[in-house]
């Protein structure tokens, strides 16, 4: 989930990731009249075959960009639940698998409220991380202004990474070693969110598994085959904050995000790290 | 990226992962300027495989 103000490069980042991989990529522009079948697909009657045939929707890709996901109704947002959990779609009693590897990237703007439907907690819990882009530095923006390659319309990379290479990396991530003390550290952080009085509810078991996976992936990203406490610490805010809601919600989404992240930072400062 | 230290996994798997991460970061970084942290995290998401 990439959440930030309009025009800071959320969609461009998603396009870049898709182009950097030799994979199927579909962008779905979420709007209030988008139907679940526009995402997953629909069974239509084939006159010649005299039977119903399934027409696959755009979700059947390796990378799916759900652009401005909070503009769709909760019913359409929920059409992503099964596929994000299990990588498959069930329609009319038939189950269809989506691409492998499969990743859903979603963007949303935290400021615009008009015509939006906030994602329910069960949906937010299915996103591994929430990322922010932020404004670029002056130097970076100067490069963007001076360059000819802004945007993503003409985007094409030579030598992209293959699907098999991504599948292999994911397999390697699952084998990155976690010492018992690291698992206890993860559990300590998760438990602290569950007893924190300012949160409506703590982190789910899905959330704790997400933190473990993300820590293993971070370790491998930085060239290690074992997880350090800093892998957990550095990734915790991005993995946990979007899964937590304040007991007394703020009317300002950005302010609420800041408050939640502040409490998560406080928890990280208090929970003892393994030596 | 740091030098590969391989105790628990085969060196080939570690080297292959490092090569793929470097290639992805170089390709994305050629278009997205000054957003290293966001790129690092999105690649970590990709490697983690989305949701468990």
Residue A91 neighbours by CB under 8 Å, 6+ apart? A40, A41, A42, A43, A54
- Which parts of chain A register pLDDT below 70? 112-113, 148-153
Q: What is the pLDDT of residue A150?
A: 61
Residues A226 and A216: their CA atoms lie apart, in Å, by: 7
Q: What is the pLDDT of residue A125?
A: 92
Per-residue pLDDT tens over the stretch B20-49: 999 999 999 988 888 889 999 999 999 998
What pTM was computed for the model?
Answer: 0.89
Q: What is the pLDDT of residue B2?
A: 47
Strand partners, A55: A42
Q: Could you tell me which chain B residue has the CA closest to the CA of A209?
A: B52
Q: What is the pLDDT of residue A112?
A: 65
Main-chain phi, psi angles of A124, to 5 degrees? -60, -35
Q: What is the pLDDT of residue A231?
A: 97
Q: B interface mutation test: which of A3, A4, A16, A130 has the most B CBs within 10 A?
A: A16
Residue A189 near residue B21 (C-beta atoms within 8 A): no
Q: What is the pLDDT of residue A83?
A: 87
Q: Could you tell me which chain A residue has the CA closest to the CA of B12?
A: A172
A20 interfaces chain B, CB cutoff of 8 Å = yes
The answer to whether residue B52 scores a pLDDT higher than 70 is no
Q: What is the pLDDT of residue B4?
A: 46
Q: What is the pLDDT of residue A151?
A: 65
| Residue A2: Cβ within 10 Å count | 25
Q: What is the pLDDT of residue A94?
A: 85
Question: A186 contacts in B (CB within 8 Å)?
Answer: none
Q: What is the pLDDT of residue B50?
A: 57
**Residue A144 corresponds to which tokens in the numbers above?**
């963007």
- Does the beta-carbon distance from A222 to B17 stay under 8 Å? no
Residues A121 and A152: their CA atoms lie apart, in Å, by: 31
Q: What is the pLDDT of residue B3?
A: 44
- Does the beta-carbon distance from B27 to A19 stay under 8 Å? yes
Residue B28 near residue A16 (C-beta atoms within 8 A): yes
Q: What is the pLDDT of residue A227?
A: 96
Q: Could you tell me which chain B residue has the CA closest to the CA of A175?
A: B9
For Cα atoms A60, A65, A66, give the angle at the middle one, nearest 5 degrees. 100
């Amino acid at each position: 989930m990439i959440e930030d103000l309009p025009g800071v490069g959320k969609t461009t980042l998603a396009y870049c990731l898709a182009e950097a991989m030799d994979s199927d990529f579909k962008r779905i522009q979420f709007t209030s009249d988008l139907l679940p079948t526009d995402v997953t697909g629909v069974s239509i009657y084939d006159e010649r075959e005299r039977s119903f045939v399934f027409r696959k929707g755009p979700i059947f890709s390796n990378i799916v960009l759900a652009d401005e996901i909070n503009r769709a109704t909760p019913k359409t947002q929920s059409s992503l639940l099964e596929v994000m959990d299990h990588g498959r779609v069930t329609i009319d009693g038939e189950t269809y698998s989506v691409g492998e590897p499969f990743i859903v990237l979603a963007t949303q703007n935290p400021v615009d409220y008009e015509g939006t439907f906030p994602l329910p907690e069960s949906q937010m819990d299915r996103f591994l991380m929430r990322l922010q882009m932020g404004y670029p530095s002056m130097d970076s923006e100067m490069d963007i202004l001076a360059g000819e390659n802004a945007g993503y319309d003409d985007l094409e990379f030579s030598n992209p990474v293959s699907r098999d290479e991504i599948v292999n990396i994911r397999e390697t991530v699952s084998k990155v070693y976690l010492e018992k003390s690291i698992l206890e550290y993860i559990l300590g952080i998760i438990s602290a969110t569950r007893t924190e009085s300012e949160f409506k509810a703590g982190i789910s078991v899905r959330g704790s598994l997400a933190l473990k996976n993300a820590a293993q992936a971070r370790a491998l990203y930085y060239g290690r085959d074992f997880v350090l406490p800093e892998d957990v610490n550095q990734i915790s805010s991005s993995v946990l904050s979007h899964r937590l809601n304040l007991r007394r919600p703020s009317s300002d989404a950005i302010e609420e995000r800041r408050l939640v992240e502040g409490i998560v930072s406080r928890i990280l400062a208090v929970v003892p790290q393994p030596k | 990226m740091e030098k590969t230290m391989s105790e628990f996994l085969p060196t080939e798997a570690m080297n292959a992962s490092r090569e793929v991460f470097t290639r992805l970061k170089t390709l994305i970084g050629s278009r997205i300027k000054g957003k290293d942290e966001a790129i690092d995290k999105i690649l970590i998401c990709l490697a983690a495989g989305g949701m468990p």
